[in-house]
Amino acid sequence: MRATSANNNTLQPAQPQADQVPNWQPLNDFAQRKQQDSGLKAWIAVVEGCIKAIEKTAWQGREIADQAITACKAVTRGASAVNEEMQLLADEARRWPARLKRLTKTGWMLTKVVASYRLWGTRAAFLPGSMRDAALANLHKRNAKRFRDTSLEQGGAFLKIGQLLSSRPDLLPQAWVDELAVLQDQASPVDFADIATVLEQEFNQPLDTLFAHVAPQPLAAASIGQVHRARLHDGREVAVKVQRPGLDEVVELDMTLLKVFMDAVKSALPPMDIDTIVNEIQRTVREELDYQREARVMTDIGRQLAAIPGIRVPTLVPERSSRHVLTTEFIQGEKLTLTLDRLKESDPAQVSALLSTLLDAWFCQVLNGGLFHADPHPGNIMITPDNTLVLLDFGCAQALTDDARRGYFRVLQACIVGDETVIADTLTALGFVTRSGDPATLLAFVSAVLDQVRDAIINPGQQTGWPTAEDMMQQVSELLGRLEHDPVDT
């Protein structure tokens, strides 16, 4: 395998080479095949998939032998060529046992989870009805703990998958959501020495040349990277997001295992378009690894929002940004929810103004610009002392085609005038299809999302108030009931 040239201090498009990426194609091919069977046959298929992945990883050990032969042949090209080939050999020797270890732990955990669900059908047949629900709930909880513990241990992309799944009560049983919720705040920081190494390798310069100062303690640590406050030599205060080392080595393996897992347990999940959901998770995780893409998205969304007062996006520092490092101006502020909690009694008008600005910002992104921040949780929205909203972390973003953007705008217009026929026809044209063909489930989701917007537009002077937590949970429960009755297939 050839080493990657990571010494890049400008935002140039990445040029991946085929021999830099582990070849998981045999397992990918397996994962793509629909698993229509049930019972023992399907469970055996999952085990076979994990075994194939382990075999593939072990066979990569042959690359070490091939690299050794290449290193020996390099003698004819001189001492520097031998040194280069030997370094590549050492790098490869360090990598492949780690892949095997990771696959063995993760694959075995998934195998146990899948096996327990496949055997549940047989076990449930011998349980009285009064015990069946409790036994299934315990099974969900036990499997969720297995998944959670492995996510914490493996970290990286697998932890990110767990975090994404924890926010999908429509996708997983409640016991899974409850157990995986702890992953939202459970990302151990990388040692600062490793962070310094990444920075120096990315830009091929000593750390004290790159920055006048870098705080060793991170401001935030997440599954993909962590953020440190720093100061440039010209005095500018900046935030430096550094990707955790080694993620490129394991992310494709993690994505493939996710596909195998979700295909295998599909029958135990609520009926829905699992393939689309899994594809979106895979896309999101892969894109979050590319900080050059994130830099472009952040810059483009910043331009989109420039005309909206009261909201801003941090300015990029391109000379200190690369595929694995993203440096922006540092902005002092407070987490959105902390500000709202502080103001809701003392200044409700300011709360309304902040939320209105947020709504304007997302309508602008989705309906006008066609590129939007797709992870607007409170940790990614900050309020400055002068009540300016600041958007952070653009790793998860989505671009819309012009047809999709116009279609969603048409849905909003039809919702305002109450034309359900236009809403249903437009969503069908955009590719939304329920199992029965009846649009009732789709209309219920549109109502949940846009009814308050419609009311605010029709009655701009009236304060109807935000729904309570109980109201929202009731609405979610009703939507899940509709999904159960008539799921959205695509």
Residue 72 lies in a domain: yes
Residue 13 lies in a domain: no
Predicted local confidence at residue 45, as pLDDT: 53
Domain co-membership, 477 together with 384: no
Domain co-membership, 326 together with 380: yes
The count of structural domains within the chain is 3
Predicted local confidence at residue 243, as pLDDT: 93
Out of 398, 429, 458, a domain closes at 398
Domain co-membership, 296 together with 352: yes
110 or 189: which leads in pLDDT: 189
Domain co-membership, 449 together with 381: no
170, 360, 375, 425: the active-site residue: 375
Residues 287-305, mean pLDDT to the nearest whole number:
94
380 or 76: which leads in pLDDT: 380
Say whether pLDDT at 468 is over 80. Answer: no
Domain co-membership, 258 together with 393: no
Domain co-membership, 372 together with 385: yes
Residue 12 lies in a domain: no
* Domain carrying residue 307: 192-244+291-398
Q: Report percent pLDDT > 70 for the chain.
A: 73
Domain co-membership, 357 together with 377: yes
Highest mean pLDDT among 100-104, 218-222, 435-439, 480-484: 435-439
397 or 100: which leads in pLDDT: 397
Residue 8 lies in a domain: no
Residue pLDDT, tens place only, 430-451: 999 998 999 999 999 999 888 8
- Residues whose CB is less than 8 angstroms from the CB of residue 414 and which lie 6 or more positions away in sequence, other chains included: 420, 422, 423, 426
Q: Output the average pLDDT for the chain.
A: 78
Highest mean pLDDT among 141-155, 283-297, 302-316: 302-316
Domain co-membership, 408 together with 428: yes
Residues 166-190, mean pLDDT to the nearest whole number:
77
Out of 233, 257, 288, a domain closes at 288
Residue 5 lies in a domain: no
416 or 264: which leads in pLDDT: 416
Predicted local confidence at residue 268, as pLDDT: 61
pTM higher than 0.75: no
Residue 228 lies in a domain: yes
Residue pLDDT, tens place only, 305-339: 999 999 999 999 999 999 999 999 999 999 998 99
Residues 208-216, mean pLDDT to the nearest whole number:
97
Predicted local confidence at residue 154, as pLDDT: 77
Predicted local confidence at residue 195, as pLDDT: 95
Domain co-membership, 215 together with 267: no
Residue 7 lies in a domain: no
Predicted local confidence at residue 466, as pLDDT: 66
Domain co-membership, 145 together with 64: yes
Residues 367-390, mean pLDDT to the nearest whole number:
91
For this structure, is 375 an active site residue?
yes
Residue 278 lies in a domain: yes
Predicted local confidence at residue 170, as pLDDT: 65
Residues 261-284, mean pLDDT to the nearest whole number:
73
Domain co-membership, 173 together with 306: no
CATH number at residue 223: 1.10.510.10
Domain co-membership, 152 together with 233: no
Predicted local confidence at residue 43, as pLDDT: 44
Q: Which of 116, 101, 114, 109 is nearest to 148 (CA)?
A: 109
- What would the two tokens of residue 20 be? 């830099």
Out of 372, 398, 424, a domain closes at 398
